[in-house]
Structure formats: C-alpha cells, structure tokens
Homo-oligomer: A and B are copies of this chain.
Amino acid sequence: MSETEPRLAFEDNEYLPAVAQDADSGEVLMLAYVTPEALERTRETGRAHYYSRSRDELWEKGATSGHTQHVEEIRVDCDGDALLYLIDQEGGACHTGYHSCFYRTIDGDVVSEKVFDPDDVYE
C-alpha cells in the first residue's frame, strides 16, 4: 500500500536522529543525526550519510574506514522526527571494532561481536 510521502520535521529541528539497523539480523548498530542534505545524499547514493554535530559537517559512514552502510530501506516515524535506516554493514559499525555501537549493557557487559581491530583501520 502506497500513501503520501511522510512529512519530515526539519522545519522544527536542524537535524533528526537516524537509527541504523542491520537489515538481516535486526541488530541496532548505531544512532547518528541527519540534515536534509545528508538524507538526500543517502537517497541518491544508497550509502548512509550523516551529519556530525560536533564537527559541523556532512559525513559518509565508512569514507575513512571502508565500513560503508548500504541502505536497503529508509523508514520514518509517526511524528516525522526520527528515521530508521535498514542497512547492510561492511565491516563493523563501531569505531571501537564492534559490529554494533551498542556493544555494552548499562551494567558494562559486552554483548556485541568484535569484528575488526581499530588499529588496523584508523591511523
């Protein structure tokens, strides 16, 4: 069933949170932010782009590490103020080497798999 394109709440928010979820396993991999431009670039290229609030710039996930995210589908929440990227992750999502950035419980137990050594990837 196809409906009208959901409205995105960019007029009230400079950027919106985007959750990246592994399209196959369902594991939630990371949360980052998007501007309209980052989202547009994601849709154009099929690779996840985000906006860094601290560096104040658009970035492509994996541009440095090679750990690109191929976007299979983009979903929008009811209020249009959050996005969900269903993705196919090259390597690992986390700069620490884990498959998911959510690799720890709040008590500090490690629950995600280490998939690369960050020393081999970032210099």
Contacts and interface: CB of A to CB of B under 8 A. Distances in A.
Nearest to A6: B104
Given A6-B106, A21-B28, 8 more contacts: A2-B107, A5-B108, A6-B108, A19-B31, A76-B105, A77-B101, A78-B103, A84-B102
B101 A78 contact: yes
A17 interface: yes
28 contacts: A1-B109, A1-B110, A3-B104, A3-B109, A5-B107, A17-B17, A19-B19, A19-B28, A19-B31, A25-B26, A26-B27, A28-B28, A30-B82, A31-B82, A43-B106, A74-B106, A75-B102, A75-B105, A75-B106, A75-B111, A76-B105, A76-B106, A78-B95, A78-B96, A78-B98, A78-B101, A78-B103, A79-B101
A58 interface: no
A86 to B, nearest CB: 9
A4 B36 CA distance: 38
Residue from A1, A26, A105, A110 with most neighbouring chain B CB atoms (10 Å):
A105
Contacts of A43: 106
Interface in A1-36: 1-6, 17, 19, 21, 25-28, 30-31
